Amino acid sequence: MPDAPNFLTVWKVDLNTTATPKPLSSLRAAPLKGRVRVPGDKSISHRALIFGALATGTTRITGLLEAEDVINTAKAVNALGALAEKRGDVWEVKGRGVGGLRSPDGPLDFGNSGTGARLMMGVVAGHSMTVVMTGDASLSRRPMRRVLAPLMEMGLEVLEPGQEKLPLTLRGTSELTPIVYVLPVPSAQVKSAVLIAGLHAAGETTVVEREPTRDHTERMLRHFGASVRTEAKGLDTHITVTGHAELVGRDVHVPGDPSSAAFLAAAALLVPGSDVTIEGVLTNPTRIGLYTTLQEMGGDITFLNEREEGGEPVADIRIRASRLKGVRVPAERAPSMIDEYPVLAAMSAFAEGQTQMDGLAELKVKESDRLQATAAGLEANGAVVRVDGDSLTVTGNGGLKGGGVVATHLDHRIAMAFLTAGLVSDKPIVVDDSTMIATSFPEFRQLMETLGARYDEPVAR
Ligand SMILES: O=C(O)C1=C[C@@H](OP(=O)(O)O)[C@@H](O)[C@H](O)C1
Ligand SMILES: C=C(OP(=O)(O)O)C(=O)O
């Protein structure tokens, strides 16, 4: 039994949920070795189910991420009258065509998933139906106004006037008005919700992006036969979808999720003597800011066998343990690595010198306030950290002492980031709960253990 800290004092804080929290601690690891695959990309998985439901005919999806967030989206499209089910290794979606979904019999529960909830708001907006949407304690704290505002401009009604968080009752219409919408925040979820609603509107709907965000919606809509134009205008990008679209069921292959692979890559860089290859990872440029940053820090990361699969770039990524040095991560890179800051910050404690991460405002509205949760978790484990507005600076100080308990606030990325750093901290790091890892990466522990890592379930003292 490792020298685990007493987690009892914090483990019940803020877990307004019915699931029993399951604390977990990582043990100091021997070199990690091997070739592995990570589960399918979460963003692409949500979209494949949703566009399959909005298409006519059958969509066949291989590599779909079978994690809670995506399963909740599958349940939602089924409740709306499409049929998404697994047959052998393939998920099949029998769609009902754009505008062809029917009212669900009860509320749609999106659990922990911002992507599922927000993209489905775009779907509901374009149907003449009334839908109650709910989520867990974390999702019910997250801002929905960013999606509701443009969708209301198009014709969506919120039946609880002024309410901007889940639960919400939404009334859509089959007569949406097309709009031109300048994104006030760099959010692929907002962009996607508006483009999805635009499929149902009469005419062209345009989203204007100041900073590029992940473009899976645009790529996949084209794959399903929609007309989507992407035009550079000055510093902006205009993305235009033609309404009253017809989507046709397609085959979709979902590549490995670079945001899940990030934890394996981080572990391989940190644990001395490691050499790990992660096969079939999505390398879309709008998603790989972390890997660029780690290379700048001196990380030995090679992209092998680069290829295209189903309209998305993919590679095998080889990572060898490396000495890292601190860098400044520019604000404009944030959208391409937005979910990776907790793990990067944890790794920065092992780098030589300071790592300054700028432009992190969006981190505050994820499954938790990730800026605070990351800083608090690092401080609890002996790191030197400074939060200054939207910037986070970690000063490498010979690694992490560990021995602290991390409050995860129902946030899978916080849990996985610290379970990764704990492989190389002096004392084990305990996360107060690990159940929510199943929302995005249920195989996390098993894959890490395949490579040689070990975890321990601390017993309450
Ligand atoms: O569109 C998507 O699939 C996602 C977009 C990002 O959120 P924002 O759009 O809020 O930045 C990201 O954090 C999330 O994990 C997935
Ligand atoms: C922010 C995330 O997801 P979502 O917004 O879909 O809850 C994430 O997976 O890190």
Quick one: 241 and 363 in the same domain?
A: no
* Runs of H (alpha helix) within 381-440: 412-421
Place of tokens 């993209």: 119
Quick one: 316 and 192 in the same domain?
A: no
User: Where does a domain end: 253, 271, 289?
Assistant: 253
Q: Return d(Cα 54, Cα 84) in angstroms, integer.
A: 12
- Residues in the chain predicted with pLDDT less than 70, given as ranges, are 1-18, 460-461
CA 397–ligand 1 middle distance (angstroms):
32
- Identify the active-site residue in 69, 136, 257, 339: 339
**b/e sequence 149-160, b meaning 16+ C-beta within 10 Å:** ebbeebbbebee
| Digit-coded pLDDT (tens) for 121-169 | 999 999 999 999 999 999 999 999 999 999 999 999 999 999 999 999 9
- Amino acid of residue 408: T
- Residue 1 forms part of a structural domain: no
Q: Return d(Cα 418, Cα 116) in angstroms, integer.
A: 26
Q: How many domains does the chain have?
A: 2
Q: Is 257 a catalytic site residue?
A: no
| For ligand 2, atom 10: residue with the closest CA | 339
Contacts of 262 (CB under 8 A, 6+ apart): 290, 339, 340, 343
- Residue 13 forms part of a structural domain: no
* Whether residue 440 has its Cβ less than 6 Å from ligand 2: yes
How distant, in Å, are the alpha carbons of 27, 62, 408, 454 from that of 418?
A: 11, 31, 9, 14
Given the CA of residue 117, which atom of ligand 2 is nearest to it?
6
User: Where does a domain end: 253, 287, 312?
Assistant: 253
Quick one: 336 and 375 in the same domain?
A: yes
Task: Specify the CATH number for the domain of residue 187.
Answer: 3.65.10.10
- Amino acid of residue 289: G
Q: What's the sign of the alpha-carbon dihedral 106, 107, 112, 118? A: positive
Q: What is the pLDDT of residue 439?
A: 98
- Residue 9 forms part of a structural domain: no
Which ipTM score applies to this complex? 0.99
Is 207 within 8 Å of 183 (Cβ atoms)?
yes
Q: Return d(Cα 99, Cα 197) in angstroms, integer.
A: 10
Is 374 within 8 Å of 392 (Cβ atoms)?
yes
Q: Would you list which residues are annotated within the binding site for phosphoenolpyruvate?
A: 42, 114, 142, 189, 370, 413
Quick one: 216 and 308 in the same domain?
A: no
Quick one: 239 and 265 in the same domain?
A: no
The ligand whose atoms approach the alpha carbon of 437 most closely is 2
- Residue 207 forms part of a structural domain: yes
The ligand whose atoms approach the alpha carbon of 213 most closely is 1
Report the pocket of ligand 1 as residue ranges, CB < 6 Å: 43, 114-115, 187-189, 192, 214, 338-339, 362
Given the CA of residue 217, which atom of ligand 1 is nearest to it?
1
Quick one: 356 and 391 in the same domain?
A: yes
Q: Return d(Cα 84, Cα 387) in angstroms, integer.
A: 44
Quick one: 372 and 249 in the same domain?
A: no
Place of tokens 């134009």: 229
* Whether residue 413 has its Cβ less than 6 Å from ligand 2: yes
Q: Treating both helix axes as pointing N-terminal to C-terminal, what angle do 216-223 and 188-200 enclose, rounded to 10 degrees?
A: 30
Q: What is the pLDDT of residue 18?
A: 56
Phi, psi of 159 (to 5 degrees): -80, -5
* Whether residue 342 has its Cβ less than 6 Å from ligand 2: no
CA 415–ligand 1 middle distance (angstroms):
18
CA 285–ligand 2 middle distance (angstroms):
19
How distant, in Å, are the alpha carbons of 137, 262, 334 from that of 319?
A: 36, 11, 22
- Residue 12 forms part of a structural domain: no
Residue 21 structure tokens = 């929290």
Q: What is the pLDDT of residue 397?
A: 84
Quick one: 158 and 193 in the same domain?
A: yes
CA 189–ligand 1 middle distance (angstroms):
5
Q: Is 157 helix (H, G, I), strand (E, B) or coil?
A: strand
Quick one: 364 and 381 in the same domain?
A: yes
User: Where does a domain end: 204, 229, 253?
Assistant: 253
- Residue 461 forms part of a structural domain: no
Quick one: 28 and 158 in the same domain?
A: no
**Which domain does 219 fall in, by range?**
42-253
- Residue 4 forms part of a structural domain: no
Report field, pTM of the whole predicted structure over 0.90: yes
Quick one: 381 and 354 in the same domain?
A: yes
Q: Which element (helix H / strand E) includes 74?
A: helix 68-79
* Whether residue 374 has its Cβ less than 6 Å from ligand 2: no
For the chain, the farthest-separated pair of C-alpha atoms sits apart, in whole angstroms, at 64
CA 367–ligand 2 middle distance (angstroms):
7
Quick one: 392 and 340 in the same domain?
A: yes
- Residue 17 forms part of a structural domain: no
Q: Would you list which residues are annotated within the binding site for 3-phosphoshikimate?
A: 42-43, 47, 187, 189, 339, 366
| For ligand 2, atom 5: residue with the closest CA | 114
